[in-house]
Amino acid sequence: MTKLLLRALAGETLPVPPVWLMRQAGRYLPEYRATRAEAGDFLKLCYNPDLATEVTLQPIRRFGLDAAILFADILLVPQALGADLWFETGEGPRLSTITSAADLARLKPADAIHDTLAPIYQTVRQVAAALPPETAFIGFAGAPWTVATYMIAGRGTPDQAPAHALKTADRATFAALIERIADATVLYLSEQVKAGAEVVKLFDSWAGSLHGQDFDDFALAPTRRIIAELKRLHPGLPVIAFPREAGPRYQGFARATGADCLALDTSVSAQWAAEHLQVDGCVQGNLDPKRMVTGGAALVSEVRRIRDAFSGGPHIFNLGHGITPDADPANVALLVETLRG
């Protein structure tokens, strides 16, 4: 029988939607914390195929979710392009910055990324070989705009101001950076598919800070180009797009980009999304991640409400953003039990 996730992505309405969770392999799981301690630090964990395979599989063993997602980080692509990358404990990632045409010129060409990323492809091969036959495998990358915001600022920022400033001051250099990231992303995701990923997802976590023509040029157009290239290289490959906090710009995004599924954050209601977005195909989401912390009857009620709202079309149950480190694994089990019960 075809995997449930792949059936939903192909447009099938299922009596019980498949379920997986963004950041399902992470710090809320004691087994993840133990493996991370064994690795030494986050980047060593990403680049160790045996340990990255282990953490990818942990939530599948524990919860029986319908899909695994590769354990990696969106900033491995900038690192493979030649940016310096490190993680500050308790503060998150830091990167050397790209703020001029000269900085951009020092980056490697897109096709030079594979030596750095070879351990990631090995992780994909190992996970694909180890997954239960009913479990789908999702590869992923950051979308160009979101990756660019980190490359320009050197870190995460609340409003992506440094990227907006470069976009305004030197649009040509900014556009060339977006293009370099898009080229590398196609190659990176294509290698994941060759290694065994059955679905890929593009995370555009900061898409909501783009507006008007900027949204079209730097969120929609790169996504459309990446998806078109991937489908040319891998006919029939399903792609999930996540232009987080796109708001009304969610409408028509799947149609315009060729995405097979649109992942939704919590800023749109399931009822509105069913009426305006699910008509174009599969949608994914969009339980508030806070429910994984608070649990209880309210979690059960929210799971049922979202499931029922999307019951008239293809739907993949997920959160509206990543699961947080303070989530209770028991609440994930309750979510799955409620959904399937």
4-340 has CATH 3.40.50.10490 classification: no
From CA 135, how far away is CA 138, in angstroms rounded? 10
Question: Strand 92-95 vs strand 85-88: parallel, antiparallel, or unpaired?
Answer: antiparallel
SS (H, E, C) the chain: CCCHHHHHHCCCCCCCCCECCCCCCCCCCHHHHHHHHHHCCHHHHHCCHHHHHHHHHHHHHHHCCCEEECCCCCCHHHHHCCCCEEEECCCEEEECCCCCHHHHHCCCCHHHCHHHHHHHHHHHHHHHHHCCCCCEEEEEEECHHHHHHHHHHCCCCCCCHHHHHHHHHCHHHHHHHHHHHHHHHHHHHHHHHHHCCCEEEEEECCHHHCCHHHHHHHHHHHHHHHHHHHHHHCCCCCEEEEECCCHHHHCCHHHHHCCCEEECCCCCCHHHHHHHCHHHCEEEEEECCCHHHHCHHHHHHHHHHHHHHCCCCCEEEEECCCCCCCCCHHHHHHHHHHHHC
Catalytic residue ranges = 23, 27, 36, 73, 150
* pLDDT reported for residue 81: 98
Nearest to 322 by CA among 288, 277, 295: 288
* pLDDT reported for residue 1: 61
From CA 169, how far away is CA 203, in angstroms rounded? 26
Task: Give the C-alpha distances (Å, rounded to integers) separating 84 from 76, 102, 210, 242.
Answer: 10, 16, 26, 26
Nearest to 34 by CA among 50, 62, 61, 55: 55
Contact 335, 295 (CB under 8 A): no
Radius of gyration in angstroms for the set of CA atoms belonging to the chain, rounded to a whole number? 19
**Other beta carbons within 10 Å of 261:** 26
Q: Which tens digit of pLDDT belongs to each residue from 180-197? A: 999 999 999 999 999 999
Residue ranges, the chain, pLDDT below 70: 1
**Other beta carbons within 10 Å of 111:** 9
Domain chopping of the chain, boundaries: 4-340
Structure token pair of residue 212: 């008007």
